[in-house]
Amino acid sequence: MRRRLMYVVLAAFVLLAAGASSTFAARGSGVQTFIFNGRLLTDAGSSSSLYVDVNGGNRLALKKLVGQSDNQYFAVASSTQFLRWSHGVPTVVAESNLVAGDAVSVHVRAARDASLAQIGATAAARVADRGPTPGHAGRPLWLFVGSLNAPAANGKLTIHVQSG
């Protein structure tokens, strides 16, 4: 009885180890999202690629750029989603709305072990356009630190400001 239990435990351990090793092996070759941030060098129009001066991106994308030119072509297709961000709100737009000088983020889904050429040839899943001057607030932001004196009533509240 004890020997049979030992065989069952050993078989379970072997199956668990085999499953874990296949999971780790699959992790290295799975499909990943590569994000390339930069400025559009030419108007997009209705071409099948975008020409971008890459200045940043996620770690996977930047590792692929080591030793390569910053100016890269990225393929686009009819399945590519073009988003224009304005005041923090995305709007789906046509490719022709992208103009040279706009800050863009190109999202490409490709195999983790793909080369930069293969990534560039894979149609981008999403292109996010933030316009020529992204990230600048139109109005100043104010921060007051304090405590609430009384519950809000009639659309007003009173606070005791401690700093800000």
112 neighbors 61 (Cβ within 8 angstroms): no
Predicted local confidence at residue 76, as pLDDT: 94
Helix or strand holding residue 17 (H, E)? helix 2-28
Strand pairing of 71-75 and 31-40?
Answer: unpaired
Q: Is the pTM of this model over 0.85?
A: no
Q: How far is CA 95 from the centre of its chain?
A: 19
Span 119-158, pLDDT tens digits = 999 999 999 998 887 765 566 667 778 888 888 888 888 8
Span 21-31, pLDDT tens digits = 555 555 556 89
The superfamily (CATH) of domain 30-129 is Copper binding periplasmic protein CusF (2.40.50.320)
159 neighbors 147 (Cβ within 8 angstroms): yes
CA–CA dist 136, 88 (Å, integer) = 11
89 burial (CB, 10 Å; 0-12 / 13-18 / 19+) is exposed
**Domain ranges within the chain, ordered by starting residue:** 30-129
Which residues lie below 8 Å from residue 105, measured CB to CB, with a gap of 6+?
A: 35, 36, 37, 57, 126, 127, 128, 130
